[in-house]
Structure 1
């Protein structure tokens, strides 16, 4: 008996990389899996069901249950079809894993509206669309789990990824509100920031030696390391875990803090702009976040 025996899980972007490993493990743990993948390239262009079909074929060859869905999560009707396929084929839906993503990395002053909208549509709107489609079923059965993928690019920041960073931090806000709104229905919502080598990561250019070394470290972080946490969060074993942000880096699992006030200063007569410069700034400066900090600075050590 696997931890997901009898469950039905929908995994978006499951034709390759992290999503594929999630789908394979969920199936091994006993779940019937809807393998969704449009099959486009790293920038979201084109469509090819071959990767999704290969994942399904591999699941079935191992004795599991799965089906292909080739819809775009950015299309509300397509997203709804992912959930409908699960219910029609397997009778229910127990967990949604919002993993689908694309990259259109551009330095800020060169980022177009098209680059912005394409990434927001797949990541943030895609999470909304698929989650919204599953919600009526979760409410009716008084159970369910949303597992959304965020990124340290959103939680910490990164060069050339304003669109991706905004979408990924937006997903955290979405997950938190879903968790609060759906708690009364026994539904939970959590985020994972994965560290894993994928075809999307492979598109990021190395502009200096430090970045090249970071990319080489990323190549040692395989996608299969992410899947166990997803399977846990999709299972009944996590029934009291909600509204959290996790990370997985090789064999390391960590829990992120959330933004909370760290310093406070009150002035009874109110503040002027000059008083802020003269009094607040010196008091707060020692607690300022590093304006140039990136994920590699926070996670500067090598995982085991």
Structure 2
């Protein structure tokens, strides 16, 4: 199967460097018209410049593709609205959104300021919310849309010194899960990418020999699957260094404790059974958890009456 995006319009945020640049160039090479978004700030979000985004656009055009640059700050909704409008003015539709823009302000929680926490949340979480909101109704009306959130192992599993980043990256998974339900009947599919790549975000975290293995293009191969016509929905794909894996949230079968046993002591006594993973399973939505617990309670009541 050939993965193509002919006739489609894609917006890639944070596309002036690193993963975003790789995503934008690959989409254009496979037929998409691309909005290359980048505020052009430093890794910590300071400053701005249009040079990086314009350079990527020129690279795409030199290879025969179509692209425009936009310097929207994804944390500012009016900037994002203008970016989407320019895409519509140029090409009349938006089919794909890759929420890739991000910054780092790493410190231990003790040393981190509330402002540093909020700023990282604003860019990663609210940036994804703003960009998704700006294209959401368009995609619903055209009965087609593919949206990729960028999560992280720091959000899924934790990472020392990244409470702000980890919180934001787990939050976009919750955003994906609910939007996937709301967009299903409109053929709007939402997935999340958990990348490991050599970018500005990781250049001083990993040794050079490791960074050399983590080329952005390997991650982009997974990203394009998540925004292709045949993409799944509500899926977390982990990608890095040529490795690809799926991450999913599971819930154990758990136990039912009758009313007289619904105490902290009884919960502690049944802890091993509660945590037993033998019958764990993913849940399609939040209501499924309530359904499971209520069915257990109803089964107990029926047995008690019998």
Q: 2:244 maps to what in 1?
A: 253
Bigger radius of gyration among the two: 2
TM-score for both structures, normalised by structure 1: 0.86
Distance 1:216 1:165, change over 3 A: farther
Rounded to whole Å, the distance in 1 between the matches of 2:67 and 2:234 is: 29
Q: 2:48 maps to what in 1?
A: 47
Q: 2:6 maps to what in 1?
A: 5
Q: 1:237 maps to what in 2?
A: 230
Q: 1:61 maps to what in 2?
A: 62
Q: 2:163 maps to what in 1?
A: 162
Aligned-residue offset at 1:216: 4.4
Rounded to whole Å, the distance in 2 between the matches of 1:25 and 1:261 is: 37
CA RMSD of aligned residues (A): 1.8
- 1:225 paired with 2:209, answer no
- 1:82 paired with 2:83, answer yes
What SS does structure 2 have at the residue aligned with 1:266?
coil
Per-residue deviation, residues 249-301 of structure 1 (Å, max 9, x unmatched): 2222211121x322523332223233334x134555777xxxxxxxxxxxxxx
Aligned-residue offset at 1:2: 6.4
Gaps of 5+ in 2: 278-306
Aligned-residue offset at 1:236: 1.6
Distance 1:34 1:170, change over 3 A: same
Rounded to whole Å, the distance in 1 between the matches of 2:100 and 2:176 is: 13
Rounded to whole Å, the distance in 2 between the matches of 1:174 and 1:285 is: 26
Q: 2:201 maps to what in 1?
A: 200
Aligned-residue offset at 1:234: 2.2
Rounded to whole Å, the distance in 1 between the matches of 2:3 and 2:195 is: 23
Instruction: Report matched runs for 1:1-304 at 5 Å.
Output: 3-204=4-205, 216-238=209-231, 241-258=232-249, 260-268=250-258, 269-277=260-268, 279-281=269-271, 283=273
Aligned-residue offset at 1:110: 1.1
Rounded to whole Å, the distance in 1 between the matches of 2:26 and 2:153 is: 24
What SS does structure 2 have at the residue aligned with 1:47?
coil
Aligned-residue offset at 1:165: 0.4
- Compare 185-194 and 225-234 and name the one that shifted more: 225-234
Aligned-residue offset at 1:157: 0.6
Aligned-residue offset at 1:89: 0.8
Rounded to whole Å, the distance in 2 between the matches of 1:24 and 1:158 is: 30
Contact kept, 8 Å, 1:225 with 1:249, in 2: the verdict is yes
Contact kept, 8 Å, 2:254 with 2:273, in 1: the verdict is no
What SS does structure 1 have at the residue aligned with 2:35?
strand
Per-residue deviation, residues 78-98 of structure 1 (Å, max 9, x unmatched): 122221121111111100000
